[in-house]
A and B are shown apart, each in its own frame.
Chain A
Amino acid sequence: MNVISGISGFDLVQRARKVAAVAGKFADDVDRHGRFPAEAVAAMKAEGLLGIQVPVELGGIGASIAEVAETCSLISQECASSSMILAMHHIKLSSLIAHGRGDAWHEGFMRRVADEQLLLASATTEAGIGGNLRNSICSIEVDGDTCRLTKEASVISYGAHADAILITSRANKDAAPSDQVMTVFLNGQYTLEKTHDWDTLGMRGTCSEGFLFKGEAPSRQIIPQPFAEIAAESMLAVCHLLWSGVWYGIAVNAVSRAQAFVRGAARANPGSVPPGALRVAEVAAKLHLVKASITASIQDYERVKADPAHAISIAFLVDMNSLKVTSSEMVIEIVDQAMIVCGIAGYKNGTPFSLGRHLRDAHSSRVMISNDRILANSANMLLVHKLDTSLLG
């Protein structure tokens, strides 16, 4: 756990564990009723987890993406929906930190996120566009000091519970679909008219309902950099890293349950190796692959970020896409195999070995920006990018 020990006076792991305990207590209820995990989010706010990434000068503790990913993974082991909410909040925050520095309004807003533990939501998905977040139909209207936006946002996780929504649109009414900006709208500056329910297989607690968004705010709340840069330089990578952290948490908890099941069987029958043990070994190897792939990608990200002269290359984007596709495919496979180990005890709800929620939550990973869409994007980039053939890079 040495990645996290660097933050003095703020025991992130201990705080994350406290939040995880609360999240775990309500996880089944949140899942059953498809409700917002209010208790877990209140605990996150109480422990200050919504502001950890904010730079120290602006009132946070300047936590790295590695530290945020570890926090997400710890909470995900108890409740993946709660963890995904924290991850999505920090993805939005990372864009602000990477692109809002030096801008008075956005710096003030980051300070408020840390001080008041504001929860940020994201509205990139648009009716008629789906997961192609680098295109918008709607456009923002800038009228002097005021901007106005109407968007058919078909998925906004915890939209009804957020303190602010970061929303993409075309930069003006004449802009090309890919010429986009992202704007911060504070709760009170927008109305949400619900258009789609969120009654899903898994990740039921993210409450990712669809809304007709209508907002009006001071135009200085538009992030100055084009969204194309935000997406390429920080958001895509951070998305794939933090999502993978959440999915890893689901997988590692499933493997722990399978292991506990087999250990119980071994103890009940000393002198023999239970049949499930081999499968646990097999699934542990897959888990190791996911972990290695996430930690290597985090290191890559930190390296690229530490060198401001280094422009984000196609090689980096292909690697981050590969991480998303691999970890999402693998988490489903891992939970599925863990369920075979636990047998009926895994299939049933309400046992210490239940894996139904894990499996359903894991299945969100491939559709959360469709893997086919991501592969198509990599396929295009691989037409020009030559793979690095060295082992150590």
Chain B
Amino acid sequence: MKQDIREILAKLGGLPVSVDTISDSADLYTAGLSSFASVQLMLGLEDKFDIEIPDHLLNRRSFASIDAIAETVSAVRAGQEAA
């Protein structure tokens, strides 16, 4: 899943550096993720993983690193399967 996340990040994150130089735990906002791009990233994730991110996860923390995004996506998937 992290590879998919990296691809989406490279496409929509608008980062000034290559995604390959960013570790899974690195802070994406420090790496230059803007609030505009973070929303585009959320849309990309919803499309790729066929999920709808619920409101309580639509916050900065959920998308602060590749690890955090993976956790968010897993949590949403688990929630959708349970529903």
Query: Complex Cα distance A386/B53, Å?
Result: 10
State whether A313 touches B43 (Cβ < 8 A). Answer: no
Interface residue A229 (Cβ < 8 Å from any Cβ of B)? yes
On A, residues with C-beta under 8 Å from B are 134-135, 171, 175-179, 226, 228-229, 232, 311-315, 377, 380-381, 383-386, 388
User: A134's contact among B34, B56, B59, by CB below 8 Å, is which?
Assistant: B34
State whether B36 touches A380 (Cβ < 8 A). Answer: yes
Nearest opposing residue in chain A for B54, CB measure = A386
> In the assembled complex, which residues on chain A have CB atoms less than 8 Å from the CB atom of B62?
311
Given A311-B60, A312-B59, A313-B58 in contact, is the A384-B53 Cβ separation under 8 Å? yes
B:7-54 near A, CB below 8 Å? 15-16, 29-36, 39-40, 42-43, 46, 53
User: B55's contact among A134, A175, A314, A380, by CB below 8 Å, is which?
Assistant: A314
Query: Complex Cα distance A177/B31, Å?
Result: 10
User: A384's contact among B29, B31, B58, B60, by CB below 8 Å, is which?
Assistant: B58
Q: What's the minimum C-beta distance from A308 to chain B, rounded to whole angstroms?
A: 13
> In the assembled complex, which residues on chain B have CB atoms less than 8 Å from the CB atom of A383?
39, 43
Given contacts A313-B55, A377-B35, 14 further A-B contacts (CB under 8 A): A134-B34, A226-B29, A228-B35, A229-B60, A311-B61, A314-B55, A315-B58, A380-B35, A380-B39, A380-B40, A383-B39, A384-B53, A385-B58, A386-B55
Q: Is the interface of A mostly helix, strand, loop or mixed?
A: loop
Given A311-B61, A377-B35, A381-B39 in contact, is the A226-B55 Cβ separation under 8 Å? no
> In the assembled complex, which residues on chain A have CB atoms less than 8 Å from the CB atom of B61?
311
> In the assembled complex, which residues on chain B have CB atoms less than 8 Å from the CB atom of A175?
30
> In the assembled complex, which residues on chain A have CB atoms less than 8 Å from the CB atom of B58?
313-315, 384-385
> In the assembled complex, which residues on chain B have CB atoms less than 8 Å from the CB atom of A385?
55, 58
Given A134-B34, A134-B35, A380-B39 in contact, is the A228-B29 Cβ separation under 8 Å? yes
Q: How many chain B residues touch A (Cβ–Cβ < 8 Å)?
A: 23
> In the assembled complex, which residues on chain B have CB atoms less than 8 Å from the CB atom of A179?
29-32
Nearest opposing residue in chain B for A178, CB measure = B34
Among A175, A176, A383, max chain B CB count under 10 A is at: A176
Nearest opposing residue in chain A for B55, CB measure = A315
Nearest opposing residue in chain A for B33, CB measure = A178
Query: Complex Cα distance A232/B29, Å?
Result: 12
Query: Complex Cα distance A229/B59, Å?
Result: 11
Query: Complex Cα distance A363/B25, Å?
Result: 46
Nearest opposing residue in chain B for A380, CB measure = B39
> In the assembled complex, which residues on chain A have CB atoms less than 8 Å from the CB atom of B55?
313-315, 385-386, 388
11 A-B pairs within 8 Å (CB atoms) are namely: A176-B16, A178-B34, A311-B59, A312-B59, A312-B60, A313-B55, A314-B59, A315-B55, A380-B40, A384-B39, A386-B55
State whether A384 touches B43 (Cβ < 8 A). Answer: yes
User: A177's contact among B32, B43, B53, by CB below 8 Å, is which?
Assistant: B32
State whether B29 touches A313 (Cβ < 8 A). Answer: no
Q: What's the minimum C-beta distance from B46 to chain A, rounded to whole angstroms?
A: 7
Q: What's the minimum C-beta distance from B53 to chain A, rounded to whole angstroms?
A: 7
Q: What's the minimum C-beta distance from B56 to chain A, rounded to whole angstroms?
A: 6
Considering the complex of A and B, which 4 residue pairs feature the smallest CB-CB distances, nearest first?
Answer: A176-B32, A311-B59, A314-B58, A384-B42
User: A313's contact among B16, B32, B36, B56, by CB below 8 Å, is which?
Assistant: B56
